[in-house]
Amino acid sequence: MSDPGLGARPVGNEVIVERSISVPVERAYSAWEDPAQVATWFTTRAEQDVRVGGRYANADGDSGEYLEVVPRERLRFTWEQPKAAPGSNVTVEFLPEAEDIVTVRITHNGLTADDVAGLQDGWDWALDSLKSFLETGTAIPYEDWQSRKEMGY
């Protein structure tokens, strides 16, 4: 069983982040697949065509192409954010622990050493926001998350 408080950890030039979330795997997967939900907990103006060869984009400048789509198990896509690690890849895994508990694990690889620190924070926030969104109905804005982190919460 994974530690629900596990933050991002660099592994060479990749970042691995995971959270245990108290929802069924289908609900966690839907929060990644549905652009309206992604636009609530992660970004704004999310556009997604979740199929191999399909593309995604959002108002933050994130974009890429889906390389692998295994419903309720795994999404793998390119990361073409020009300000942070363009040309890298992200894998999101949905690992059921029990009927109503899933671990969501993000592995972002192909990073430069300079990209690792910023993406540790970014993905750490993203999974905290996803967890809050799924368990309470309220996402965590990045600025609020950053303030809490600086205050030691």
* Contact (CB, 8 A) for 76 and 66: yes
Q: Residues with Cβ < 8 Å from 18, sequence gap 6 or more?
A: 2, 6, 103, 104, 105, 106, 127
Q: What is the pLDDT of residues 98-135, one digit of tens each?
A: 999 999 999 999 998 889 988 999 999 999 999 999 99
Q: Is 144 helix (H, G, I), strand (E, B) or coil?
A: helix
Q: What's the one-letter identity of residue 64?
A: G
Q: Determine the pLDDT at residue 81.
A: 92
Hey, where are the domains in the chain?
A: 9-150
Query: Could you tell me what percent of the chain has a pLDDT over 90?
Result: 80
Mean pLDDT of the chain: 91
Q: What is the pTM of this model?
A: 0.89
pLDDT band, very low/low/confident/very high, at 11 (cuts 50, 70, 90): low
pLDDT of residue 127: 98
**What's the rounded mean pLDDT across residues 70-99?**
96
pLDDT for 67: 98
DSSP letters for 131-143: HHHHHHS----HH
94 phi and psi, to 5 degrees? -115, 105
DSSP element (H, E) containing 39: helix 35-41
Residue 31 has pLDDT above 90, yes or no: yes
CATH architecture of 9-150: 2-Layer Sandwich (3.30)
Strand pairing report for 47-48 and 55-57: antiparallel
State residue 5's pLDDT score: 46
What is the predicted pLDDT for the residue at 2?
A: 38
User: By the 8 A CB rule, do 133 and 28 touch?
Assistant: no
